[in-house]
Chain A
């Protein structure tokens, strides 16, 4: 068997990472089309696409490091940046949807955020009533 040098091994690793990344991105798009409501869709779009993009960027970083011999700080910064910002974007979109009363899927059985909001409203009205009595 022909012995492999470092560049060939790196190329194999890069190929695997790129395939994993693009398959995850494809899976996330498929979830975006198939899932029933916006919350399930943001679940698919945020997590799978983030990991897909990150593994593609890691593959590009390994390629440039082993084949061209340069350390691309921009790619590392991009990995960190996507990892920080994409979930926050998903959170903000889902929260904006909930606050504008976008309906949940009809088979949803549990809505903890609504329960917490009701609890807080009850607590606030009790506090206000107590303050009015003391005056």
Chain B
């Protein structure tokens, strides 16, 4: 019996953008509000998993040609290098700082180096979740 997933696929096209937007919001909200790299990464992975459920693995490999294992390595590299970067200013390992800057569109904005560490956490969480789910899902035997 042939089935089609046109309702699921059409809704996924709309809803995955909402989830991705909300995950980016959670990632940047982490400094002053509930949120941060971990839950933002999990929610991004959730949006990608929804796309994988609505379509199949071969299609999604063409749409998102990313190696999630390399994403784990990149995230860990970013997190460690923000720690090592504090040695350049003769302060202890993982010392973070922040400052207020005037950006062209956003106006007065607080920029903290902890966001870079959070970016590392974010990439690692997305990579780990997608690696686990894809290595379970691809098992044919």
Contact B18 A99 (CB under 8 A): no
Within 8 A of B (CB), among A76-117: 77, 80-81, 84-85, 88, 91-92, 95, 99, 117
Per-residue A-contact encoding for B6-19, CB less than 8 Å = 1, 0 else: 01100100110010
Q: A99-B1, A117-B1 are in contact. Are A77 and B22 (CB under 8 A)?
A: yes
Determine whether B97 belongs to the interface, using a CB cutoff of 8 Å to chain A.
no
Residue on B with the closest CB to A91? B7
Q: Chain B's interface: helix, strand, loop or mixed, by majority?
A: helix
Asked if residues A84 and B22 are in contact (CB atoms below 8 Å), the reply is: no
Q: Known contacts being A80-B18, A81-B18, is A88 close to B3, with CB within 8 Å?
A: no
In the bound assembly, the distance between CA atoms of A21 and B21 in angstroms comes to 28
In terms of DSSP, what is the predominant structure of the interface of chain A? Answer: helix
Can you name 21 A-B pairs with beta carbons within 8 Å?
A74-B22, A77-B18, A77-B22, A80-B18, A81-B15, A81-B18, A84-B11, A84-B14, A84-B15, A85-B11, A85-B15, A88-B7, A88-B8, A88-B11, A91-B7, A92-B7, A92-B8, A95-B3, A99-B1, A99-B3, A117-B1
